């Protein structure tokens, strides 16, 4: 599912959080006995807004997840209260497929992207592979606009079709949130637990201390080939072979030797011998 918010007013964490909650509600899918709400959200920001908000993205993610939980509770509590009071038939419960929210941020490099605009793709956990996403029946597109000066907001449905982002590759993995997927839309992505002073693109939700806050970096070269660099303490393997440790301590100082290894299609990556990721490039037109 996809939503776009565009205007000449600066993008803020508050606007992003509110739009994500709106898409959670609007993207609900009714079943026979319950209503499923999307819980996976990918937010695309214009590169200038990305750079400006970069230091705040982890806080925006955390607050957005809290607001999503509150929004889901509101969808159920009023209905249950009135049903019991009036003796009506119990309404369908709104629920998530799995017990987690996933909110990821990406820079939007589309030619029609402009500052003050952000795009939200919302979906359900364990989506199909990136090569199968185009034309998916679950894709929902909405455009939000706020006029400068007046602040007036309009909401417009956008025809669904091919995904706006250029997906280079996909990672599939399992952490404490369950089975997840991450779409690589930049030439370089950083992988790890994240944390203070260590922003990562693919944040692994785990308490395993051997997984570094920044554990590995994957990049696409100019010729289209992919490479991986290990910047961790406890190592990375690809297809069972150890990736040379690039970030080491010499004479008390941290040194990055910039050592890269090939990352083939269908590679099986293991971090610190404890967390596995499957990597698959997406064919480019």
Distance of alpha carbon 86 from alpha carbon 81, whole angstroms: 9
Q: Map tokens 């920044």 to a residue.
A: 214
- Three-state SS sequence of 111-161: CCCCCCEEEEEEECCCCCCHHHCCCCCCCCEEEEEECCCCCCEEEEECCCC
pLDDT at position 133 is 46
Q: 221, 180, 186, 211: which is closest to 201 by C-alpha?
A: 186
Angle value at C-alpha 101, between 284 and 156, nearest 5 degrees: 65
pLDDT at position 72 is 95
- Who's near 45: CB < 8 A, 6+ residues apart? 11, 53, 105, 106, 107, 108, 118
Report the SS3 class of residue 204. Answer: coil
Q: Map tokens 């705040």 to a residue.
A: 56
CB atoms within 10 A of CB 239: 11
pLDDT at position 154 is 52
CB atoms within 10 A of CB 221: 11
Flag residues of the chain having pLDDT under 50. Answer: 6-7, 128, 131-137, 150, 160-164
What are the tens digits of pLDDT across the range 6-50? 445 788 999 999 999 999 999 898 988 899 999 888 888 888 998
Distance of alpha carbon 215 from alpha carbon 193, whole angstroms: 8
Both tokens assigned to 236: 């990375």
- Tell me the CA distances in angstroms from 15 to 29, 72, 145, one per residue in order: 24, 18, 11
pLDDT at position 134 is 45
């Amino acid at each position: 599912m996809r939503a776009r918010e565009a205007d000449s007013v600066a993008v803020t964490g508050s606007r992003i959080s509110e739009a994500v909650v709106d898409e959670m509600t609007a993207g609900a899918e009714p079943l026979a006995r319950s209503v499923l709400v999307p819980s996976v959200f990918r937010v695309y920001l214009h590169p200038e807004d990305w750079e400006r908000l970069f230091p705040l993205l982890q806080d925006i993610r955390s607050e957005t997840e809290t607001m999503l939980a509150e929004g889901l509770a509101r969808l159920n509590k009023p209905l249950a209260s009135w049903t019991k009071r009036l003796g009506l038939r119990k309404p369908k419960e709104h629920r998530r497929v799995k017990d987690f929210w996933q909110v990821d941020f990406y820079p939007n490099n589309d030619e029609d992207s402009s500052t003050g605009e952000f795009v939200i793709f919302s979906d359900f956990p364990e989506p199909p592979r990136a090569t199968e996403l185009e034309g998916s029946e679950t894709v929902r597109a909405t455009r939000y606009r706020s006029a400068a000066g007046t602040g007036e907001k309009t909401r417009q449905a956008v025809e669904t079709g091919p995904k706006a982002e250029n997906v280079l590759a996909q990672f599939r993995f399992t952490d404490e949130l369950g089975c997840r997927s991450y779409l690589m839309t930049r030439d370089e992505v950083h992988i790890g637990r994240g944390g203070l002073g260590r922003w990562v693109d693919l944040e692994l939700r785990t308490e395993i201390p051997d997984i570094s806050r920044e554990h590995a970096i994957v990049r696409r070269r100019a010729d289209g080939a992919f490479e991986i660099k290990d910047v961790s303490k406890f190592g990375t393997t690809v297809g069972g072979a150890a990736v040379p440790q690039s970030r080491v301590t010499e004479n008390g100082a941290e040194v990055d030797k910039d050592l890269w290894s090939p990352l083939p299609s269908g590679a099986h990556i293991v971090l610190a011998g404890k967390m596995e990721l499957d990597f698959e490039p997406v064919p480019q037109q």
